Amino acid sequence: AGNEMWGGRFAAKPAAIMQEINASIDFDKRLYAEDIAGSKAHAAMLAATGIISPSDEAEIQRGLDLVLGEIEAGTFAFSREREDIHMNVEARLAELIGPAAGRLHTARSRNDQVALDFRLHVKRAFVETEAALGRLILAFLDRAEEHADTVMPGFTHLQVAQPVTFGHHCLAYVEMFARDRSRCRDAIARLDESPLGAAALAGTPFPIDRHRTAAALGFAGPTRNSIDSVSDRDFALEFLSTAAIAATHLSRLAEEIVIWSTPQFGFVRLSDAFSTGSSIMPQKKNPDAAELVRAKAGRITGALVALLTVMKGLPLAYSKDMQEDKEQVFDAIDSIGLSLSAATGMVRDLGVDVAAMRRAAGHGYSTATDLADWLVREIGLPFREAHHVTGRAVALAESTDARLEDLPLDVLRSLHPRIHAGVYEVLSVDASVRSRRSFGGTAPENVRREIAEWRARLG
């Protein structure tokens, strides 16, 4: 007989290459804790419903604890012949406790078993990702508080647009990462159903209690359709899409850090802890951590596309294609965890050059919109005409390499006779940000109010 599990049907061993393409133990051993927890809950239910005897159950529980102990001690011999984590655990259980082990797989299939293990694992990953996002949000709130009044240029098209506060810029990231967090919560609520007991795909004639195992494993209840239970990988796709969106946010942050830390911008200084030097150029300090965070977004998005592509052609119910779900998800779990930790460290450590930000905020005629708005408010010009007058002011200033506030009053008056000295009050970057008090605007007082609201919301 070739195989411990299905030797009854098979006379010959698998080809070596079959074992190589088929065995998943090298990566799915990561599910050992979930697999054993699922088996323990299943065995307890089988005994409670009279499907197996109390003494067999006791032996199975004892044996599963031994297996868990061996795996955690690093003494468990994982075997590719035993294909995956499910059969590795069950075969070792049989070695340890004998015939009672053979009763564990009653009313169960590897199809519902793997769906269960993977759901539990992804659920935990969502919980951890949500917590890591919370830590990043707190880091941003601290920096926003510190820099509620720090003026920097806001950009569109990476061209200087209007002055903003660095605090407000930090709060933009708070909004993004808070949405990622709420995506984690939504997804947890949706995946919170236990597929255990769906068996191969059709359910089972044994009088099992799926509500009992679902509750024992911390789920809100059992899944409602046995075919869907073993076919569904939406929870994995939702993890990957949530992670891909969060990674995209992290990548935009990383890109800003890379740009801002160049000597040409000089807005921030990277801490030594999150940068590297060059082996040849002694002056260099490179933003490697930010660059790697930026790159992980590509990797995580790749995992999402890979699993969507694996799933799209599969008929119901289980197909072995679905074994390819795990490496993508495991890699994404590790990548998003690392990226979030590195980003949190970088945000906390970032040296902000307030003077350089302020200087840059004053360049590029960033208060031109303030001049146009003033012409509308003070002189009653239609905005389109104010825009035109301001455009001419910018052109004049540019021709003499001056700032808007350096233009003498008679020059401004040549553009419109009713302009008076009060205009200079709106041309400074501080006046500009202070004036933007509309809901959601960049004014320092808005920033302080938003920080307080976020802190209250986060508890």
| Positive/negative CA dihedral, 162, 164, 170, 172 | negative
Longest dimension (CA), the chain: 101
Q: Which two tokens stand for residue 145?
A: 């508080």
Q: Which two tokens stand for residue 390?
A: 């301001």
- Of 53, 278, 363, 420, which one is the catalytic site residue? 278
Identify whether the C-beta of residue 153 lies closer than 8 Å to the C-beta of residue 166.
no
The neighbour count for residue 291, using CB atoms within 10 Å, is 15
Query: Residue 84 or 450: which CB sits closer to ligand ARG?
Result: 84
DSSP tag of 127: H
Query: Residue 52 or 199: which CB sits closer to ligand ARG?
Result: 199
Identify whether the C-beta of residue 236 lies closer than 8 Å to the C-beta of residue 304.
no
278 is catalytic: yes
Identify whether the C-beta of residue 69 lies closer than 8 Å to the C-beta of residue 32.
no
Query: Residue 22 or 276: which CB sits closer to ligand ARG?
Result: 22
The CB-of-114 to ligand ARG minimum distance in angstroms stands at 4
Query: Residue 24 or 165: which CB sits closer to ligand ARG?
Result: 24
169 is catalytic: no
The CB-of-86 to ligand ARG minimum distance in angstroms stands at 6
Distance set, CA 25 to CA 3, 29, 32 (Å)? 16, 5, 10
Query: Residue 37 or 322: which CB sits closer to ligand ARG?
Result: 322
Residue type, 207: P
The CB-of-445 to ligand ARG minimum distance in angstroms stands at 55
What residue ranges bind ligand ARG (CB under 6 A)?
24, 28, 84, 110-111, 114, 318, 320, 322-323
Residue with token string 């806001």 = 154
Burial class of residue 382, CB neighbours in 10 A (0-12, 13-18, 19+): exposed
Kindly list the catalytic residues.
157, 278
